[in-house]
Homo-oligomer: A and B are copies of this chain.
Amino acid sequence: MEEREISQAVIRRLPRYYRYLGELLEHGVERISSNDLSRRMKVTASQIRQDLNNFGGFGQQGYGYNVKYLYTEIGKILGLEEDHRMIIIGAGNLGQALANYAAFEKRGFILKGIFDVNPRLAGMTIRGVPVRMIEELGEFVKDNEVEIAALTIPKDKAIEVAEFLVVNGVRAIWNFAHTDLNLPEHVIVENVHLSESLMQLSYKINRFNKEHKK
């Protein structure tokens, strides 16, 4: 199927569809109308139809969506049917939180290694994956054909490490460092800036306070 250019907003909603459909599947629901899905997800039914039309539809007039089929197809669009070889750089609390999250594995994100600079962490394992020293990074990435690296290290190290990873063949960075990475165009970067998320929250509190004082 030929796909058009998909907007960022649609891409942001797809994983949420996937999550809801997964929950429906778990509850044994076999099909669902766009109206029902709309009510659950608090998105308009026309929004749902429009979003899914980007990928060719999937619905049948008067029947609704086949949950299993739609779940599988969205999974394919999200690239979840293939395995992705992943490493985590930074074995601090955040790195450990990611490493411990077994659900990633279920989605095909296979944790191959965890790296840190702290020699006291050497030999520690998280879900069976040993923490390695950062000196081994280049060789490991090449030998294991690592595709994704999650960066949970301080911002002053992140740029350098990210460039090193890319030189050694890593194609996608899941960036938790509080900085932009400015990597070559072909490298895929997904940022999770927690402090920015918290600021958005306080922005909304601030707005609310102002509106309700007036």
Contacts and interface: CB of A to CB of B under 8 A. Distances in A.
Nearest to A126: B93
Contacts of A208: 171, 186, 188
Interface string A106-142: 0111000000000000000000000000000000000
A148 interface: yes
A171 B206 CA distance: 11
Interface string A83-105: 01000000011101110110110
B107 A100 contact: no
A31 interface: no
Interface in A125-184: 147-148, 171-172, 174, 178, 180, 182
A192 interface: yes
Nearest to A203: B78
B78 A194 contact: no
A172 B200 CA distance: 11
